[in-house]
Chain A
Amino acid sequence: MNNDRDGKVATGADWIIPILGAGFATYYLISIKDLAWEAKVSGVFCAVVLFLLIAIFALRTAIGVARGTHYLEWRSLYESHKLAIVRGALFALTVANVALIPWAGFTLSTFGFLFTCFLWLERMSARRAAIVAGSLALFGYVLFVLILRTALPPGPFERLVSALTGF
């Protein structure tokens, strides 16, 4: 992100997306090299324009650094240790939630995810976290599974409700 410091533009972290873009464009071009030209034309056009734009970006940054109007920094990705831990943990819990859905089903995995997040992020009491997470998971089950008929992978809870009520 461009942060002004004494009128200078921060650069460094904003190179991640162009690098990812260039990497993906290269892979794209490699993946289509043996195809008929009709299958290539649009992708080649987009990839070439993307490379051009990245080259202009590189040139602009290099000139800026040489002139002293730009400076290199990576802080915009990592502001503080505490925030990085919170964010990293939230993402890790999300990954765990997605990994759990096929086995635990939507309702139980959502309950587990929300319960852990509320306990840890909001510092709720275990009882309150369980009530809020449970209500939300149940609401999600009624809305998405029963009303909207989303074919989410069923878990023990969904099977039990289905066996007891026929829903």
Chain B
Amino acid sequence: MHLSLSILADQFLLNFSYLWLIIIATTIGIIIGAMPGFGAANTIILLLPFTLAVPVDVALIFMVSLFVASHMGGGITSILLNIPGNGGAAATCLDGYPMARKGMGQQALVLSFVSSTVGGMVTACLSIFLLPYISRLAYYMHSVEMVVILLFGITLIASVASDNMLKGLIAGFLGLLIGAIGADHIYSTPRATFGFIELYDGVPLIAVLIGVFAISEALTMMESASVLSDKGRELMKQAGWAETWEGVQMAFARTWHMIWTSLVGLVIGIIPGAGASIAAFVAYQQSRLFSKTPEKYGTGIPEGVIAPEAANNGCSSGDLIPLLVIGVPGGTTAAVMLIVLTYHGVQLGPRLFIQNPGMGYGVFITMMIAYAVMLFTTLPLTRYVSRLVLIPTTVLAPIIIAFTLVGAFAPRGYMFDLWLTLGFGVIGYLCRRTGYNVVAVLIGVILGPMLEANVMRALRISGDDPLVFFSSPVGNGLWLALAFSLMIPSIAKWRRNRAALAAS
């Protein structure tokens, strides 16, 4: 991989000459990122005529800027409305929304923007220099390891997202089972489709996301006149530029936290298929694990916003590494980018760095410039955007329902998906009212098809030997980590109870 300062300088100047394009792409990315159902992949598909018509450099700059901005945008609605714009922003709801309810929405948004920027920039910068080395991580992740990682993801999310781990696991496995609806991977025979042909491709993720988050949140919102608590409302009304500055200080006081959680995102992003949702939750869980005050997580603390936001943006760099280095897309958006680049005749994989190293490294230069642009354009807006929560819930809830329903319809164009969304809205509402975390259900649905595909692949390769799941050293290490992650909360609870008993 030929890397020289002149290549980097050329790429920087090239990107800078397209600053106008980066500004447009990041603006679109933030807006669509904040809207559930309109992910970066869908938007790139929508704008395919543009990306195919322009030169490859321009197309790449546009796609990369839009991609990273959508990760940042996803946090806005997570914080203000408890509705993640995409799966990667689901973990941000855990502390972002409680912060907003306390009247600290502006600070939470600033935390999200700064940690996204720092996380994205650090990992993009690191990727340039470590590209040849970190890409090898992907080689160690085969289907066996992926099965354990996916199960690990579910148990992790169940313990992070729920006060009661058993309830979290029930929600997670219910999600996995919902994710297993549809045609199977080998014979394409329909399973548990209730006779609906629209479910043969599986349950559409966007319908689940919008149903369990947006619809159920809108119904739950009606309990009070405002999203904010009384004290929060007063704080919010008085909020000015000082709160933006306070948010910036809060973020930079936790610089190391931003850096290491973004690195967690980078590593997870490199694993093909793992994605931003897992990255954000793993970073959140690790952040809580190493915290001196883990009990404060979930109540609205800055670390709880920083960790997932830094990680899901760190994951953006990681997502693109397998695409550039070995030609395997790390996620859906990367897959769409692969199609566009292939159309342009770009050969991805090791040859890219021999034939056109500038393009390979230029992706990360674009990312860094896009993050800088985003920070400067979004920070001044936080003061105004955060006032969204001042709208009475009786106005906000119908607007959320009306507009998010479009997001449920957009990806497939089926009216059936709208009915499905309403069904999941009811399930989400019941989950919220009875203490089952909706995040665990959503992540289960996301991971279900991935789990099945990897289980089948591992079994096929091993000649249907179930012991294959315990045959790899990396996999066995991950099994151990999974067992520990299940035991640690119970041990910690037992120790707390014993300490409380001793104290009393």
Interface on A for B, CB 8 Å cutoff? 1-2, 13-14, 16-18, 20-21, 24-25, 27-28, 31-32, 35-36, 38-39, 41-43, 45-47, 49-50, 53-54, 56-57, 60, 76-77, 79, 83, 86-87, 90-91, 93-95, 97-98, 101-102, 106, 110, 113-114, 117-118, 121-122, 132, 136, 140, 144, 148-153
- The residue on B at minimum CB distance from A41 is B455
Bound CA span A150–B417, Å: 14
Q: A36-B186, A50-B173, A53-B173 are in contact. Are A98 and B192 (CB under 8 A)?
A: no
CB<8 Å pairs between A and B, sample of 29: A17-B167, A17-B431, A17-B434, A20-B174, A21-B177, A28-B180, A32-B191, A35-B189, A36-B187, A38-B184, A38-B185, A38-B186, A42-B456, A46-B176, A53-B173, A57-B170, A77-B430, A77-B433, A77-B434, A87-B222, A90-B218, A91-B425, A94-B215, A121-B395, A122-B395, A132-B395, A140-B403, A149-B46, A152-B406
**Residue-by-residue, is B428-446 near A (CB-CB < 8 Å gives 1, otherwise 0)?**
0011011110000000000
Bound CA span A140–B410, Å: 13
Bound CA span A122–B225, Å: 10
- Asked whether any CB of chain A lies closer than 8 Å to the CB of B280, the reply is no
Q: A28-B180, A101-B415, A140-B406 are in contact. Are A50 and B456 (CB under 8 A)?
A: no
Q: Which 6 pairs show the lowest CB-CB distances between chains A and B?
A: A39-B184, A117-B398, A42-B452, A121-B394, A14-B434, A122-B394
Q: Is A24's CB under 8 angstroms from B167's CB? A: no
- The residue on A at minimum CB distance from B171 is A17
Q: Is A136's CB under 8 angstroms from B170's CB? A: no
Q: Is B398's CB under 8 angstroms from A114's CB? A: yes
Residues in A whose Cβ lies below 8 Å from that of B184: 35, 38-39
Residues in B whose Cβ lies below 8 Å from that of A149: 46
Question: Which range contains the number of B residues in contact with the other chain?
Answer: 35 or more
Given A1, A50, A140, which contacts B174 in the complex, CB threshold below 8 Å?
A50
Bound CA span A132–B456, Å: 53
Q: Is A13's CB under 8 angstroms from B415's CB? A: no
Say how far A65's CB is from chain B's closest CB, in angstroms. 16
Say how far B61's CB is from chain A's closest CB, in angstroms. 21
- Asked whether any CB of chain A lies closer than 8 Å to the CB of B166, the reply is yes
Residues in B whose Cβ lies below 8 Å from that of A114: 398-399, 402
Q: Is B170's CB under 8 angstroms from A50's CB? A: yes
Q: Is the interface of B mostly helix, strand, loop or mixed?
A: helix
Say how far B201's CB is from chain A's closest CB, in angstroms. 15
Q: Is A21's CB under 8 angstroms from B174's CB? A: yes
- Asked whether any CB of chain A lies closer than 8 Å to the CB of B90, the reply is no
Bound CA span A79–B459, Å: 50
- The residue on B at minimum CB distance from A93 is B398
Residues in A whose Cβ lies below 8 Å from that of B181: 28
Q: Give the one of A27, A42, A98, A144 with max B CB within 10 A.
A: A42
Say how far B146's CB is from chain A's closest CB, in angstroms. 13
- The residue on B at minimum CB distance from A44 is B180
- Asked whether any CB of chain A lies closer than 8 Å to the CB of B451, the reply is yes
